[in-house]
Structure 1
Amino acid sequence: MYKISEGQLLHFIKENQQKLYRFTAMYVRNEEDAKDILQNTILKAYRKYHQIRSADTLSSWFYHVLINECLLHIRKSKRREDTQEMDVFSIKTKDTLQQEQLWDMIHRLDEKSQMIIVLCFFEERKLKEIAAIMDMPLSTVKSRLYKSLEELRVFMEYEDTCIKRK
């Protein structure tokens, strides 16, 4: 069985560094946390790259590790938020508010559905790739995507109704 080399892993990380960071930052919505998560992912990948079956699966495998790190961070953050109150004061533009509203809606979905939406629409991954990254059947990815889009549509309609009432 062909295994990838350390050099191939390092090349993948270097070639995709900005894309990986952007994905992480978009998902966790915090630049500093994104840097930490990506660094942790790179360390884990470096320790376990010998588990990768072939160079063809490197990208899917790396994203799988990255997603798990993001989810771990989010779970830890939610526990911290439950124990302490957070004050956030900032001036936001209309575009920023709309983007935040979209992310808030996406974060209302279950974790797997969130990842499918992010990988599909923000990372522009094919459904087959998403299935490999998330280690689930293609049919499950398709049904979760359809269900998630329907839920987002309902959230958006609700938001519009609330805004119109004001």
Structure 2
Amino acid sequence: MIALKETHLLAELRDPATKVAAFDRLIKGYQEVLYHHIRRIVINHDDTDDVLQNTLIKAWQNLDKFRGDANIKTWIYRIATNEALNFLKKKKRQAFQEVEDLQNDLRHSLSSGRYVDGDEIQIRLQEAIIALPERQKLVFNLRYFDEMPYDEISSILGVTVGALKASYHHAVKKVEHHLKRYA
């Protein structure tokens, strides 16, 4: 059923007469999950909105280049992930910050953000996730929060399923260790 819907949407996205309306449906279908995915990477609400907007612009600009090898969800998640990572790299370069400084900034955004629930365990969980190496953080977010299967994550990140499973396992252990310190 999902494949049929996706095939139909892809056909509409390729037809100049229905492209705009189909892209609008695509945005409505994925905007919220992409927002949360990006937010877990960049943390700050305003930055997330900027990255989401860039993601949607890049998706629109590259729509004609989409070959359909992967499904649309995987394709748009890959764009969102790359945009979020590029944003963080650019932010780091602009501020000439060390990784620890960037993590501290992200932690500060966590505790002072107006869109972050003040629940102590949620803050501790997000702190643990922020401290993870980049790949582990991405794999953890996609697997834990988005409940994405490993084969989809593999398509998004371009990493083998075995490597993803190892990254996720290590990330879970590090998150558990961090949370146990506060138990």
Distance in 1 (CA, whole Å) between partners of 2:137 and 2:156 is 14
Question: Displacement, 1:22?
Answer: 2.2
Given that residues 139 and 168 in structure 2 are in contact (C-alpha distance below 8 angstroms), is that contact kept between their aligned partners in structure 1? Answer: yes
1:154 aligns with 2:168: no
For 2:28, which of 14, 20, 37 is the aligned residue?
A: 14
**Same amino acid, percent of matched pairs:** 23
The residue type paired with residue 66 of structure 2 is I
Question: Displacement, 1:115?
Answer: 0.7
Distance in 1 (CA, whole Å) between partners of 2:156 and 2:23 is 17
What corresponds to 1:65 in structure 2?
Answer: 79
Distance in 1 (CA, whole Å) between partners of 2:173 and 2:135 is 15
Classify 1:13/1:152 alpha carbon distance in 2 versus 1 (closer, same or farther; 3 Å): same
The residue type paired with residue 82 of structure 1 is Q
State the Cα RMSD in Å: 3.2
Moved more, 106-115 or 69-78: 69-78
Question: Displacement, 1:60?
Answer: 0.5
Question: Displacement, 1:40?
Answer: 0.5
Structure 1 segment 86-97 matched on structure 2, within 5 A: 95-97=118-120
1:41 aligns with 2:37: no
Moved more, 42-51 or 17-26: 17-26
Secondary structure, counterpart of 2:62 in structure 1: helix
For 1:112, which of 104, 114, 135 is the aligned residue?
A: 135
Q: In the TM superposition, what whole-angstrom CA distance separates every residue of 1:26-67 from its partner, at most 9, and x where no partner exists?
A: 332221111100000111111112222228521111101101
Distance in 1 (CA, whole Å) between partners of 2:127 and 2:33 is 22
Question: Displacement, 1:82?
Answer: 2.9
What corresponds to 1:134 in structure 2?
Answer: 157
Q: In the TM superposition, what whole-angstrom CA distance separates every residue of 1:88-141 from its partner, at most 9, and x where no partner exists?
A: 885999943321221111111111111111111111111111111111111111
The residue type paired with residue 53 of structure 1 is R
Moved more, 40-49 or 72-81: 72-81
What corresponds to 2:5 in structure 1?
Answer: none
Gaps of 5+ in 2: 1-9
Residue-pair matches, total? 159
Question: Displacement, 1:16?
Answer: 1.5
Gaps of 5+ in 1: none
